[in-house]
C-alpha cells in the first residue's frame, strides 16, 4: 500500500529516505504443518534512494529499497510452545517507472490533470536465507512485478488506481532441498489523497491481493491468498527539502491461511 507512487518528479532530482516499521498480528498456516496459535512480530528498518530522469522525453524514475528486519514467530508446533527469531537483510527491491501520459504538460494553468504510468519492480534474492529452515527473511527467488497506474487530480484531491501482477521464480532450495513454485499473485489498490497546504497531505487507501497458490515438489498446497488491505497516511514537511510520513496499514486474510496484520511506520526523506 503505497500512495503517491506515480508522483512526477523533475529530471535530475534525487531523494533519499530512511524509516522504521512495526508489524504485529496472527498467522494461519496450512494444517499439515501442525502450527497453531501463531503470531508474528516484525521490526523493519529501511533506506531508499530515488533518482528522476528522462528517456525519450518521458519522465522516468528509479527506486531502490534496502530493508533490514528483525522478525519473531511464536506459536504451538505439534502442541509444543515454540519461538523462532531471525535478523538480517531482507531482499532488496528495485523499481523502474515511466510516465506515459501527463496532461499537465499541455495545460499548466489547470488544476485538473491526469497521469498514466507503467513500472516494473524486481525483488532480488540477496536477503538472509537458510535452505534448511522453513521460516526465513529472504525468499531465495526473484519477484518480478509489472504495474500500471493512473492518477487523476482535481484541485486538492487526487484519485489513484494501481494494478500489479507478481511473478515468482522457483526456489530450488526450499526447506531441506525441496522445490517451491508459486502461481502469479494479482493485486489492485486505490488511494484518495487530499493536499491540505503545500507539502502537507493525507490519504486513505484500500487494496486486494489474490492468487499465489504454491506447489511443493509439484504438489499443490492449500495456501491460495486473498488479502484485503486498508491504509491511512499523513505527510508533512520539516524543511524546504525534508519531510516526514506516517502510515498505518491493516491487512486481513479472507482465506484459511495467511495473516491478520497491523503495521505502523514512520519515514524521513530529503530531496536534492
**252-265 pLDDT, tens digit each:** 999 988 999 999 99
Which pLDDT value is given to residue 94?
98
pLDDT at 109 over 70: no
Which pLDDT value is given to residue 189?
98
pLDDT in tens, 25-36: 999 988 877 889
Mean pLDDT of 244-255: 97
pLDDT at 223 over 90: no
Which pLDDT value is given to residue 112?
87
Strand partners, 145: 121
CB 4 within 8 A of CB 17: no
Which pLDDT value is given to residue 108?
58
Distance between CA 205 and CA 252 in Å, rounded? 14
CB 67 within 8 A of CB 44: yes
Which pLDDT value is given to residue 34?
84
Binned at pLDDT 50, 70 and 90, residue 222 comes out as: confident
Which has more pLDDT, 224 or 162?
Answer: 162
Residue with the three cell numbers 494501481: 162
pLDDT in tens, 181-208: 999 999 999 999 999 998 899 999 999 9
* Nearest Cα to Cα of residue 66 among 157, 138, 141: 138
Domains and CATH numbers, the chain: 14-271 (2.40.128.130)
pLDDT in tens, 60-93: 999 999 999 999 999 998 889 999 999 999 999 9
Which pLDDT value is given to residue 235?
97
What nine digits make up the cell of 29? 498456516
pLDDT in tens, 5-22: 999 999 999 999 999 999
Which pLDDT value is given to residue 104?
82
Average pLDDT, the chain: 95
Mean pLDDT of 153-179: 96
Binned at pLDDT 50, 70 and 90, residue 57 comes out as: very high
* Nearest Cα to Cα of residue 137 among 47, 257, 22, 44: 44
Which pLDDT value is given to residue 62?
98
**pTM listed for this prediction:** 0.92
Amino acid at each position: 500500500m503505497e500512495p503517491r507512487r506515480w508522483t512526477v518528479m523533475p529530471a535530475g532530482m534525487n531523494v533519499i529516505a530512511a524509516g522504521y516499521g512495526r508489524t504485529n498480528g496472527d498467522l494461519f498456516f496450512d494444517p499439515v504443518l501442525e502450527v497453531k496459535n501463531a503470531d508474528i512480530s516484525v521490526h523493519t528498518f529501511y533506506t531508499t534512494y530515488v533518482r528522476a530522469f528522462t528517456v525519450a522525453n518521458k519522465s522516468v524514475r528509479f527506486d531502490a529499497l534496502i530493508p533490514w528486519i528483525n522478525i519473531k514467530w511464536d506459536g504451538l508446533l505439534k502442541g509444543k510452545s515454540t519461538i523462532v527469531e531471525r535478523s538480517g537483510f531482507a531482499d532488496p527491491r528495485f523499481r523502474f517507472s515511466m510516465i506515459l501520459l501527463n496532461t499537465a504538460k499541455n495545460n499548466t494553468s489547470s488544476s485538473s490533470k491526469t497521469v498514466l504510468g507503467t513500472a516494473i519492480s524486481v525483488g532480488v534474492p540477496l536477503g538472509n536465507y537458510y535452505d534448511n529452515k522453513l521460516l526465513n527473511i529472504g525468499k531465495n527467488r526473484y519477484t518480478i512485478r509489472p504495474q500500471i497506474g493512473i492518477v487523476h487530480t482535481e484541485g486538492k484531491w487526487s484519485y489513484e488506481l494501481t494494478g500489479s501482477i507478481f511473478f515468482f521464480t522457483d526456489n530450488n532450495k526450499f526447506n531441506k532441498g525441496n522445490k517451491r513454485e508459486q502461481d502469479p499473485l494479482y493485486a489492485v489498490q486505490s488511494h484518495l489523497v487530499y493536499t491540505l497546504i503545500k507539502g502537507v497531505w493525507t490519504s486513505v487507501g484500500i487494496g486486494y491481493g489474490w492468487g499465489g497458490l504454491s506447489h511443493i515438489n509439484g504438489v499443490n498446497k492449500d495456501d491460495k491468498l486473498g488479502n484485503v488491505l486498508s491504509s491511512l497516511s499523513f505527510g508533512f514537511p520539516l524543511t524546504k527539502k525534508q519531510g516526514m510520513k506516517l502510515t498505518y496499514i491493516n491487512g486481513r486474510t479472507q482465506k484459511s491461511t495467511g495473516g491478520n496484520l497491523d503495521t505502523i511506520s514512520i519515514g524521513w526523506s530529503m530531496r536534492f
